[in-house]
Structure 1
Amino acid sequence: MTGDGDVPLLVSCKVYHEHCPGCRQERKVHANDRLPYLDFLYIWIACLCSALPIQSLFPYLYFMIRDLKVAKQEQDIGFYAGFVAPCIVQAYASEVCRKEHQALGISLPATKYPNLFSEQSIFGRFPYFLPSFVISVLAAGACVACIWLPETLHMHHDDKVEAIDALEAQDGTAKESGTWRMGHAKNLLRNRQLMSAITLYCVFSLHDTAYLEIFSLWSVSSRKYRGLGFTSQDVGVVLAISGFGVLVYQLAIYPLLAKYVGPIKPFRSAAVLSILLLSTYPFMANLYGLELKVLINVASLLKNMFAATITIACNILQNTAVTQEQRGVANGISVTLMSIFKAVAPAVAGILFSWAQKHITGLFLPGEQILFLMLNMVSVIGFILTFKPFFSLPDPMQ
């Protein structure tokens, strides 16, 4: 210091470690202001293959339970389907890839495409083999793509996790990184901003997974049970169209929203609009033909856009609430809790769906309306949790 209120004469500059992959990546980012499309491609492939094993199941789950004759009556198919999905739920490192990667009618290939697949072929004898085979091939490609993913974590020989400030190095004010990191890892559960973001993430993950389970079962169930009577191919087309729209939305529209209004306002708006949209779903069973297909595609697209808005906002809030070296542990906690909620959601949704089909003429409300009302209640709880005293905005965003 040169006097009262004077600023330091030295200008802070970054010191990079030659053999640290984190420093190497940070220097590359600062030197190039263009978007790293190639790195994004590798991440997209890896996330695609992590989402596909679960997401591809939903379009044909109803028919698989029926063909295996697990359920004694048609109304029980949803009950058993609810217990199949959680058996394969896995933890995701990221939620970049969503429902847009559904299997597009490639189950039952000998039935759907008899000119291409014979009944005596392996695809005819094992009708649900083709989706799994395609996913396995893509997963092999993801393993190769992971080789080129750059390491972003700082690994210094002196165990400092971030690029060191030159002034701090001269002052001797830098903290011992190992002790500092350990103390902060223990305090992550006390980080109110992080835990509020994780709570929102878990609640809406429960909602999204339950919605996907219910939509897939409801859309293919019989008209006499107030379903839409779709085929697995119809469901795949609806989800694929929605997915393409969500992809465009995530790349072109959401970044502008987040830039000008931040993540929390679109988050709340999406939650409210999602509630209003889901309230219209039970009445779509009264529609037929082209009118039904157009409206269900529009509704599915909007619902998935709202879900993408909420999920991305949750990820932004979580990553902003902690420092770089804490993100691994924070995301580990988040994904573990989220996976528990995602594992519970299909079972609960399947039980509710089976109950709804057995109570089409309820005294209070028809079964399918109560079904979507329960989904909306989860969204209402999540929406309430975005306000004080439950929610706390991370310091960098205040």
Structure 2
Amino acid sequence: MEDYGDQPLLKKHYYHENCPGCKVDQAKELKQDVTFRNVFTIWIVILCSTLPIASLFPYLYFMVKDFNIAETEEDISSYAGYVGSAFMVGRALTSILWGMVADRYGRKPVVIIGIISVVIFNTLFGLCTSFRMAIIMRFLLGALNGLVGPMKAYSSEIFREEYQALGQSTVAAAWGVGLAFGPALGGYLAQPVQKYPNIFPKDSFWDKFPYFLPCFIVSAMALAVLISCIWLQETLHNHKTEALENRTNETDKNKMIQKDESLLRNWPLMSSIIVYCVFAIHDIAFIEIFSLWSVSPRRLDGLNFETNDVGSVLALAGVAIIIFQLGIYQSVQKICGPIVLARIAGVLSIPILQSFPFMTMLSGFTLNISIYSAAILKNLFIEVISTGLYILQNKAVDQHQRGVANGICITAMSACKIIGPAAGGAILTWSQKLGMHASFLPGPHLVFFGLNLVEGLALLLTFKPFLIERKTPSEQLY
């Protein structure tokens, strides 16, 4: 056995001087990885990706109505679903490609390109004057936005193994806050001439483009994040190819090649992706249906909320997500594990979800307490489930495959989320046309029952033998 002398000499032998991945590994060994900077970086980049996805939901009903494409008021929800799905179509087609680029050239370039796409195409979406233009802008925004997969990989690589839950809960918290504050932002800032006539005069630019202001604010935030990403740490090692070329053991080469080819046969990875995708169909459908149902008139069995009412509900849900995910989740997850915690959240979600249509019978203070409580809990449970599955996915692969693995996950999830908004909008339209006179599951009861069926299926898939967790080397010792 070689003797490398004291500890500094050993570190110098192990770490490559100009390798960004080695610098990250060295920071982890020195326990300098759990910093505000690393957590905040993950937070703002994921938030930058999520806000454009969700910010349109409160005003999408009115935007589609202004396009004058729906023949009846009940048809508006269906067309809104197509706009919501266009983003996911684009992302489903390109996520694996972005994952391959991230594994080859690094996480940072993909993140920067994704943020630039948000700045450009989210801004243009606010200027859309036709249904076709809106579809195209959302599609391009999804196709060029490869942020989520590389950042999920980044969050598992920037922290030590014992802090994996912190990295993934930060991703889920930022994602959840984006899904909550995005609609809040859209709800408060859409149609500013009607809401704030003293600031935004009639017949002005803001009157011609009533949905530009929330898009502009999100794009401005993305521009600030883009500038901050100049200092983003790269976690990928740049000496991997050199190390492979220097290997003289042909058996080791063959093992590595075989390992690279077996990604789709990695059942711990694929099972967690499949479960995540089923939950994803439910989650995106719920977010859209909740917003569309809330602003629908009472005669269609909705709550007749204004966009800022929806924004207030979801903003408070976002605050709850921040507190739980960053303050409580890691401790609770250590006790019961990510899978059990996800199951508990799934079981509790079912009665909460079915309570929403009964709220049309309420009004005033009772309605506000009920809708706020149910929405906060439901959005919190969505992020608890997502965090657990993020942890499983990134534990299932090694670093050199993590970008592609997350790309596969985002592609599959996006493909499923194409179904969510389109199917959710169509079923909501159908349930509103049937009204409260249907003999089985009248009015909105039908669409929320459908959401519960998907939730129940996903919950069943979290059990063995379907969902398998890969054990890390340290876990295999016990």
TM-score by length of 2: 0.76
Of stretches 28-37 and 137-146 in structure 1, the one that deviates more from structure 2 is: 28-37
Q: Which amino acid aligns with 1:38?
A: R
1:236-288 alpha-carbon deviations (Å, 9 max, x no partner): 11111111111111101111111222101110000111112111111011110
Tell me the CA shift for residue 176 of structure 1.
Answer: 4.9
TM alignment of 1:257-268, pairs within 5 A: 257-268=332-343
Taking the aligned partners of 1:201 and 1:106, their CA distance within structure 2 comes to: 32
Unaligned runs of 5+ in 2: 89-141, 153-170
Taking the aligned partners of 1:175 and 1:255, their CA distance within structure 2 comes to: 40
Instruction: Determine if the alignment matches structure 1 residue 124 to structure 2 residue 191.
Output: no
Taking the aligned partners of 2:252 and 2:230, their CA distance within structure 1 comes to: 32
Tell me the CA shift for residue 158 of structure 1.
Answer: 5.6
Runs of 4 or more consecutive aligned structure 1 residues displaced over 3 Å after TM superposition: 8-14, 157-161, 172-177, 179-182
Tell me the CA shift for residue 299 of structure 1.
Answer: 0.7
Taking the aligned partners of 1:115 and 1:68, their CA distance within structure 2 comes to: 26
SS at match of 1:367: coil
Of stretches 70-79 and 330-339 in structure 1, the one that deviates more from structure 2 is: 70-79
Is the CA contact 2:85–2:419 (under 8 Å) kept in the aligned structure 1?
Answer: yes
Match of 2:227 among 144, 168, 192: 144
TM alignment of 1:1-398, pairs within 5 A: 15-33=14-32, 35-89=34-88, 90=142, 92-93=148-149, 94=152, 96=172, 97-98=175-176, 99-102=179-182, 103=185, 104-156=187-239, 159-160=242-243, 176=252, 180-360=255-435, 361-396=437-472
Tell me the CA shift for residue 185 of structure 1.
Answer: 2.6
**Structure having the higher Rg:** 1
Please provide the CA RMSD for this pair: 2.4
Is the CA contact 1:184–1:326 (under 8 Å) kept in the aligned structure 2?
Answer: no
Equivalent pairs: percent with the same residue?
43
Taking the aligned partners of 1:345 and 1:235, their CA distance within structure 2 comes to: 20
Q: Which amino acid aligns with 1:30?
A: E
Tell me the CA shift for residue 150 of structure 1.
Answer: 0.7
Is the CA contact 1:197–1:317 (under 8 Å) kept in the aligned structure 2?
Answer: yes
Q: Which amino acid aligns with 2:342?
A: F
Of stretches 319-328 and 266-275 in structure 1, the one that deviates more from structure 2 is: 319-328
SS at match of 1:295: helix
Is the CA contact 1:181–1:325 (under 8 Å) kept in the aligned structure 2?
Answer: no
Taking the aligned partners of 1:18 and 1:10, their CA distance within structure 2 comes to: 17
Tell me the CA shift for residue 367 of structure 1.
Answer: 3.0
Tell me the CA shift for residue 32 of structure 1.
Answer: 3.2
Is the CA contact 1:42–1:148 (under 8 Å) kept in the aligned structure 2?
Answer: no
- Please name the residue that 1:5 is paired with: none
Taking the aligned partners of 1:359 and 1:147, their CA distance within structure 2 comes to: 54
Tell me the CA shift for residue 373 of structure 1.
Answer: 0.8
Tell me the CA shift for residue 180 of structure 1.
Answer: 4.7
1:286-328 alpha-carbon deviations (Å, 9 max, x no partner): 1101211121111111001100001111100001111122211
Q: Which amino acid aligns with 2:50?
A: A
Tell me the CA shift for residue 157 of structure 1.
Answer: 6.4
Q: Closer, same or farther in 2 for the Cα pair 1:84/1:157, shift >3 Å? A: closer
Taking the aligned partners of 1:362 and 1:157, their CA distance within structure 2 comes to: 63
Is the CA contact 2:181–2:311 (under 8 Å) kept in the aligned structure 1?
Answer: no
Q: Which amino acid aligns with 1:210?
A: A
Q: Closer, same or farther in 2 for the Cα pair 1:156/1:176, shift >3 Å? A: farther
Taking the aligned partners of 2:240 and 2:61, their CA distance within structure 1 comes to: 55
Q: Which amino acid aligns with 1:389?
A: P
1:101-155 alpha-carbon deviations (Å, 9 max, x no partner): 3124100001011111111321122111111111121111121122211111122
Is the CA contact 2:27–2:33 (under 8 Å) kept in the aligned structure 1?
Answer: no
**Greater helix percent: which structure?**
2
Unaligned runs of 5+ in 1: 2-7
Is the CA contact 2:59–2:190 (under 8 Å) kept in the aligned structure 1?
Answer: yes
